[in-house]
Chain A
Amino acid sequence: MAHSARRDSPKLPDFSLLKRLAKDQLVYLLEQLPGKKDLFIEADLMSPLDRIANVSTLKQHEVDKLYKVEYKPIVSTSDQLCFLIRPRIKTVKWICDVANADKAAGRFRRYKIIFTPQKFYACESVLEEQGLFGDVTTDEWSFYLLPLDDDIISMELPEFFRDNFLAGDQRWVRTAGSTLHLLHSIYGPFSKIYGIGRCSKMVYESWREQVEEEETKARQAEIGNVFLIDRDVDFVTPLCSQVVYEGLVDDIFKIKCGCVGFGTDATSDKNVKVMLNSQDKVFNEIRNEHFSNVFGFLSQKARNLQTAYDKRRGMDIKQMKTFVSEELKGLKQEHRLLSLHISASETIMKKKTKQDFQEMLKTEHSLLEGFEIRECISFIEEHIIRLVSMIESLRLLCLLSITENGLLPKDYRSLKALFLQSYGVEHLLTFANLKQLGLLVEQQPGETLTAMESKVGKLVNDKTAGKLTDAFSSLAKKSNFRALSRKLNLVPKSDEEYNLRVPRDMAYIFSGAYIPLSCKLIEQVLERGGWTGLEEVTRLLNGHEFSVTGNNGADLRANNDAPRIVVVMFLGGCTFSEISALRFLGKEKGYKFIVVTTAITNSSRLLEALLENHMRPVNT
């Protein structure tokens, strides 16, 4: 950040403990199957696993060969097979196929499935159905949390979003509850818990239940506040183009599990994997910067580096020796990182300074401000017709719908028709999904919802009706973005020049055009110590807000820092831009935010999760 941090910024708890715990447990589980064994790892667990235990650790515990789960017959020669997987029916079915194939071939092996972070009854029932319940043993690796950085912890569960918000499948709620419980038992007790959203509330309740089941001991709290937020409370933020460095890198190169491959165009040598976190000194200074500042910063850095190198001149032998032994390595390292980020920035520049991107940003900003909507619609039309990018088109459509509280019936139809002609009729299903989530809807004339409610109310008793209404309201959710934006002042007045070098508020992450709703809510609630005064806002957000003062065994001699440490748990994913905004907010207000998320997301991940185009015709 360009400006200096508040000096008394609190210290973050040490989250490396989480990694150690996970590692110890994994080792224990591996040792439960003594002897040499082959380990099959689900593809999306490979990177997280790598952060916990590397290959040599696995080998130490008698893992012979490592395979990726590929849903094909296996070639292993080992007598013991261990599967490290997410609790998904598809994978368990595949394992059953493997075991049954062995049986048919008269081959005897031992099979063990390690589910992470937990097992589901549905998975075990597949084993039962296939008559393999005894032959295949199961275990749980309660690896809930992966610290990606000092202040980012991820559950690495991207499917949380689709399962919970689209399919209405609440299986992960308990997982999230356990996650919170884990944090609570190590870093708690929490003194304040706030939240908004249906899922947040359920997660909170699940956590409470787990806390009540055990005896409490007074401990020194390291985390004072917790804020739970559902992704569907704010869809606008993740749908906007990211323009802060870290977000841009994610949009363009796709950061996976804190690691990025910059591709051949960004780095001279072959595709290198780079860890992006606060350990990378150069990255740490530019990650939260608006992209327009990054180049200036990098070139300043390069000049400094040159000066440091130049010190060599005129040194005597002894000085030179110290220089080589002490400074040179650091400088070399910095040099390497610097050149990496400079070339990454060049790639970004190439892509993002094109006219198209500028116009897209302009359209986005117009949508956020609610100006020149017709122009925006024709921009989107052209975008669809020209097949610029399917995901981007969907993104703009959704932004249009949310900011305008639904599309006019005529536009809704014509835009959809254009899209289907461009990308195929299977996207009827994608549209159905988007509609269900309230991301792309038609403006409703009148209040049909209440009519439906009263009809349903007559059919079933009150309690169920209440639940149904709940379900419906989430179905036909209105975004009310415009009203919210006015209430919370989300869109700064556009006539003033916004200085991106010295930002004055969180809007800087979107070039001064929009303050992320999610972060604004957090700011407001922390400031007020609850939801009082925000009644209108919560009504517009369909309620489900809560704020609870925890008093379970809180040690009164609490760590002075704890009340200023805030865990923000995003259920359904959060973006790097939001993290940057929270870091900014933390510096302004003297908080330290720790972001716990089900997964890091961005607009394309969010929308790809809602696509239904996975079944292209077989014969093409």
Chain B
Amino acid sequence: MSFITANWNPLGDAFYRKTELYDMCWNLRDSGLRDSLVAAAHYGGPIALLREPQRRSPSSRPQLEIYLASGISITSFPWKSGPVVHIGWTVTDELLCVQEDGSVLIYNLFGSFKRHFSMGQEVVQSQVLEAKVFHSPYGTGVAIVTGSSRFTLATNIDDLKLRRLPEVPGLHGKPSSWLVLTQDRQTKVILSNGPEMFVLDNTSCTPVCPPGLSPQYGSVVHMCVSFSYKYLSLFTDTGHLWTGSSNLQDKLSIVDTKKKTTPNQMVWCCRPQSQQLSVVLMWDRLLLVAGICGDTIQFPVDDPCVLVGELDGVRIINSTNQDLLQEVPLVCQDIFKIASMAPGALLLEAHREYEKSSQKADEYLREIKEQSMLGEAVRQCVEAAAHEYDANTQKSLLRAASFGKCFLVDFSPDQFVTMCRELRVLNTVRDGAVGLPLTHTQFKQLTLQVLIDRLVYRQFYPLAIEICRYLKIPDYQGVSRVLKHWASCKVQQKDLSDEAIARAVCVKVGDAPGVSYSDIAAKAYECGRTELAIKLLDFEARSGEQVPLLLKMKRSQLALSKAVESGDTDLVYTVVTYLKNELNRGDFFMMLRNQPVAQSLYRQFCKLQEQETLKDLYNQDDDHQELANYYITASYREKRLETRLSVLQKAVDEFNKAKNEFAAKATEEEMRLLRFQRKLDDEKGAGLLGLSLQETMEVLLSLGLHKHTEQLYRDFRLPDKRYWWLKLKSMAEKHEWEELEKFSKSKKSPIGYLAFVDVCMKSNNKSEARKYVSKVTPEQKVRAHMVIGDLEGAADAAIERRNDSEMGAVLSRCSTADCLLIDRLNRARVSASKK
């Protein structure tokens, strides 16, 4: 496999190689990349071309073309907006076109216009001279320099905040070179103007002098910063290349390129854990790789090309093909370097011999094993496979690893298995038809999630799903997410009927976890397809999710019933509040009427917030019963008797309408009572108003107003029982024992005579109580005797009645002193039970 090193070029103690990625599929005609603005996104992203941007006449317009990285055309359309100064891609693969007048137009991958923003009003006058699109931890930013030599930048176009940087002293027109870099969470501009260099930040413009770059090297005419913003390189008009840290604290080297002309493009070429950093410079006919060690590699160039800096190399795109220039990773060097004795190299050799059925395989293996390096060898092979672009090389390395693994015990296969899977995915997406030439290092940096997002964005839905399934990504983050995007895209297909789309979506998406039909429906509604949105919402299982969209689509009735179904009262309440403001009262109440849950919720709300509305609500529903109840409640809020009575009268009317005669009558009586109370309060100051009938009578009796009591008794046709109780209690409380006795004899007591005994005992008047014991009915005799504490009498009565439980009750009250009584009772019980 000596040919693997054929394209390796030594640079210092490292090697650089150029690997071909694609034969470009595009047909750029004669002009090639000349006379075009070209923007190629990082991480193997799309390429945009604006051909002949200087054309201005309506008859011949510039053409904007967008390609996959492999050169497959995605879209192409004539540019009808203003003159474009610069184009660039955002981190999410959206195209930014910066126009001369400072407006920035954003297009998606498929060339559809998304939105635009402006870099400031003053730019319209002064015009944009140059612009740059840059990436920072905050997202994608845009920086411009205007005709009045002022810099303006926006660090994140999704959260646009324009910052106008301070003036640069002595700068007229555009600077000789400049760039944007992000350091310590601050975005700065570095620029050179003749022999001077400045750093511009938000507040100040500081002259700087890179260490070791003395004036004798001339003035800086070109500069570039590395992918990670860590290193800076400056090219001077004397052909010297200064490299150092981007904070301008340290110098790495100064290399004399011996070329006096300013390069067309200059890009850092490094990788994580680089051994030999380098800068790639491109002139019309030459590509120069200048390592910081001072060595250079030269490649001839015969066609204009574009350099794209990546995380671990530089992509070189010209009209016919695309190459990746990168430093050969250390592990690959170890394995493939000629005469390498690294364990991985030996293992690869061993496997090769094994396939040839040669016993040398064993020798090599032994050698590795003697050094106990087999595990390391396997790891090296696996790792090296990751960095190889050629599938056959990957295979032979992986086979060697697999072979080596057989001789190891307790070796975790995870790394090997993961690598096989990842390489399979990478090889698939590298395919020209997909056109994502990602290296393994880039893939790891980008993460699988983002890779899937990018595939989805490019509408490679089936492939994305395949990958999710193949890599066993949980549905939530994998298949479901892809399906969701697919469906959102599907609903925008104008040529299909609502019915067809809804069915297609339902069949594909089914009940995949985590896919929200309401999101899809929202998308459909955004595209103006309301009917489709409603159809899709029907598939949504969680009714709570349907509501906001339904409201937005003004399907309020449906929204209300869905909200009720969801069982989430907050949601119901939201809809109710919305409807309340949206509809007229009548319609609103009508709608509530069909939704008892919403209605009771609204009633609760009204009870606390809007009492009056409550009344209207009941009125609308002809709910006379509730309306009457409402008036009863309201009556208690009235301070003046007259208004209170009139409110109560309303209640009576409503009760009558509700055919609740009982309540009507009760309310009428209450009104009568209130009038009576008022009258008496006025006459006697009795303080009766608001008391219940019983309380009123109690007060009257205690005040000795017997006549009035009688009057109430007759007017309200009180039951005799109540009247007797009242009298009884009042007389006992006042100790009017003679009155009481008279009263007891006035007629037969409707409440019996035990009550008399009770009230007397309550006032501790045993002798009075005794008077009534004899009058008590036989059933209550025992109890009456017991109440006055006459056990003997109780026993007599019980024995007479031959009632066992009564005798028992008496017994339980006997103390040991009453042994005679106990004896008697026991005997009586025995004789009673015998019979």
User: Which residues of A does B touch, CB under 8 Å?
Assistant: 89-90, 120-122, 125, 163, 167-171, 173-174, 177, 202, 205-206, 209, 213, 215, 355, 381-382, 385-387, 413, 416-418, 420-426, 428-429, 432, 460, 463-464, 467-468, 471, 612, 615-620
Contacts and interface: CB of A to CB of B under 8 A. Distances in A.
Contact of B608 (A89, A215, A382, A619): A89
Given A169-B604, A464-B594, A617-B636, A425 B725 contact: no
Given A425-B670, A468-B596, A617-B636, A120 B570 contact: yes
Contacts of B629: 428-429, 432
Interface residues of B, number: 52
Contacts of B690: 616-617, 619-620
B512 interface: no
Interface of B: 474, 476, 542, 561, 567-570, 573-574, 577, 594-597, 600-601, 603-605, 608-609, 625, 629, 632-633, 636-637, 639, 662-663, 666-667, 669-670, 687, 689-695, 716, 718-719, 721-722, 725, 751, 783, 787
Given A121-B570, A121-B574, 17 more contacts: A89-B605, A122-B570, A169-B604, A171-B570, A174-B570, A209-B567, A385-B719, A385-B725, A386-B725, A420-B693, A421-B722, A422-B692, A426-B636, A428-B629, A432-B625, A432-B629, A620-B691
Residue in B569, B605, B636 with the greatest tally of chain A CB atoms within 10 Å: B569
B662 A413 contact: yes
A206 B569 CA distance: 11
A167 B600 contact: yes
Contacts of A616: 636, 690
Contacts of A619: 639, 689-690
Task: Please report whether the interface of chain B is mostly helix, strand, loop or mixed according to DSSP.
Answer: helix
B632 A429 contact: yes
B90 to A, nearest CB: 32
A202 B666 contact: no
Contacts of B577: 125
Nearest to B655: A428
Residue in A386, A460, A463, A616 with the greatest tally of chain B CB atoms within 10 Å: A386
A460 B595 CA distance: 11
A417 B666 contact: yes
Contacts of A125: 573, 577
23 contacts: A89-B605, A120-B570, A122-B570, A163-B604, A170-B569, A171-B569, A171-B601, A173-B569, A174-B567, A177-B567, A213-B542, A355-B787, A418-B719, A420-B693, A421-B693, A422-B694, A429-B632, A432-B625, A463-B561, A471-B596, A617-B689, A618-B639, A620-B687
B547 to A, nearest CB: 12
A170 B663 contact: no
Contacts of B639: 618-619
Contact of A209 (B542, B632, B695, B783): B542
A420 B666 contact: yes
Contact of A418 (B567, B569, B722): B722
Contacts of B604: 163, 167, 169
A168 B561 CA distance: 16
Given A89-B609, A615-B637, A202 B662 contact: no
B670 to A, nearest CB: 4
A387 B694 contact: yes
A408 to B, nearest CB: 14
Given A122-B573, A432-B629, A215 B692 contact: no
Task: List the 3 closest pairs (A to B, CB-CB), nearest first.
Answer: A168-B600, A617-B690, A424-B692
Given A122-B605, A382-B751, A432-B625, A174 B568 contact: yes
A375 to B, nearest CB: 11
A418 B629 CA distance: 20
A387 to B, nearest CB: 7
A615 B721 CA distance: 29
B692 A423 contact: yes
A420 B722 CA distance: 13
A23 B661 CA distance: 56
Nearest to A618: B639
Contacts of B608: 89-90
A464 B590 CA distance: 13
A206 to B, nearest CB: 5
A305 B603 CA distance: 60
Contacts of A89: 605, 608-609
Contact of B633 (A205, A381, A471, A612): A612
A173 to B, nearest CB: 6
A169 B694 contact: no
Contacts of A413: 662
A168 B601 CA distance: 7
A205 B567 contact: yes
A234 B511 CA distance: 40
A49 to B, nearest CB: 25
B667 A169 contact: no
Contacts of A612: 633
Contacts of A460: 594
Contact of B722 (A120, A385, A471, A618): A385
A447 B542 CA distance: 38
Residue in B574, B662, B687 with the greatest tally of chain A CB atoms within 10 Å: B662
